[in-house]
Amino acid sequence: MSNEEFRAAMSRLAAGVVLVTAREDSLGEGGPVPEDVGMTATAFMSVSLDPPLVLVSLRDGSRMDDLLAEQPRWGVSVLSESQRHIAGRFAMKGRISDRLLFEDIAYVRGEASGAPLVGGALSTLECETEQRVPAGDHTLVIGRVLTASLPSADGGPLMYFRGRYRQLG
Average pLDDT (13-37) is 81
CATH classification for the domain delimited by 3-162, as one of 2.60.40.2890, 3.40.1030.10, 2.30.110.10, 3.40.50.720: 2.30.110.10
pTM confidence score: 0.91
Between 122 and 153, where is the model more confident? 122
First to last CA, the chain: 33
pLDDT, position 81:
94
Average pLDDT (79-95) is 86
Can you tell me whether residue 99 is helix, strand or coil? Answer: helix
